[in-house]
Amino acid sequence: MISNLIEKKVLITGGAGFIGANFVYKFLELEYKVNIFERKEANLWRIEKVKDRISIHSPDLTNYDETEKIISEIKPDIVIHFAAYGAYQRIQQDINLTIDTNLKSSINLINACNKVGVECFLNTGTNSEYGIKSAPMKETDILEADNIYAITKSAVTLYCQMMARKFNFPVAIIRPFAVYGYFEEKERLVPTIIKACLTNSRLELSRPDSVRDFIFIEDLISGYLLLIENIKNIKGQIFNLGSGEQNKIEKVVKIIKTATNSKIEPFYGQIKTAQTEPENWVADISKAKSLLNWSPKNTLEQGLQKNIEWFKENINLYGGN
């Protein structure tokens, strides 16, 4: 797949983060020249093994001139924009930083890429742009973002669409749902459960009945690769990438316990929920299926099993034995 793009340059913003790092490894595997944008103070633990094979830059994206200068130097063919702030509502609450990182920096990056010229720009939005819905979320739904993070993401979605219409900018917008997989932050749900099950330690969670549309990182990557392939036909369009099914937290616990032969019992109600917990949280993925011929290949059980096997080999990264 995408063999015609091999040896081109890709720029991944937020390349040391959970999702970005997985894309770094994938594009190195595909023999791309990989550049990443990351904060100077960022912890590079996810990409430590490959950091000498990539080019790492730390521009101030709130400064347009600096942004344009470095884009002109790199001349990326493909830009995948993950850098963001505010997704973790429990700890990321700085309103000005949310606006600067998600809105101002994104607009500067898009404008610089439009001026310099790129073949493909994939902007990563969020399912939180939809707000709370009573049915599967469709790309055409009215946006009802209920926090500053989702509001800034919604604004960038509109900006991307305007750039596609007015300037023929080759951009597509992706709204990932609950992504899980290799290199997740240790505080997140799936790594918390896996580590507790593997180390037989206390497992404290919020609610057993919270629902999510979980998508495995490998399936997310396959969707982005298809978007790159099809960018000429989908400029300005939005795509949900999820499983199309919602599952309760207690089901994730049950699957991981079974896969690890763990006997521990979770303690619910020990962690305060960081956001409103709706009864419905699931993607309508019919658009990605029809226009991209994409669908997730891994069931929740398959994705979690792969994740557990990876975790066993890399438990030292999470302070385990």
Same domain, 155 and 185: no
What mean pLDDT is predicted for residues 70-94? 86
Average pLDDT for the chain: 94
Same domain, 66 and 119: yes
pLDDT on residue 91 = 62
Same domain, 206 and 223: no
pLDDT(306) > 90? yes
Query: Per the structure, how many domains does the chain have?
Result: 2
pLDDT on residue 321 = 56
Percent of the chain at pLDDT exceeding 70: 95
Residue 288 lies in a domain: no
pLDDT on residue 5 = 46
Same domain, 147 and 227: yes
Quickly list DSSP for 211-270: EE-EEEHHHHHHHHHHHHHTGGGSTT-EEEES-S--EEHHHHHHHHHHHHT-----EETS
Tokens of 234: 């989908």
Same domain, 200 and 172: no
The pLDDT tens digits for 101-112 are 999 999 999 999
Of the given ranges (78-82, 171-175, 197-201, 275-279), which has the lowest mean pLDDT?
A: 275-279
The pLDDT tens digits for 135-182 are 999 999 999 998 999 999 999 999 999 999 999 999 999 999 999 999
Residue 289 lies in a domain: no
Per-residue confidence band for 1, with pLDDT thresholds at 50, 70 and 90: very low
- Report the distance separating Cα 254 and Cα 243, nearest Å: 19
Residue 261 maps to which CATH number? Answer: 3.90.25.10
Same domain, 153 and 90: yes
Residue 58 lies in a domain: yes
Per-residue confidence band for 275, with pLDDT thresholds at 50, 70 and 90: low
Same domain, 136 and 188: no
Same domain, 189 and 269: yes
Residue 271 lies in a domain: yes
| 24: containing domain | 3-179+217-241
Same domain, 128 and 205: no
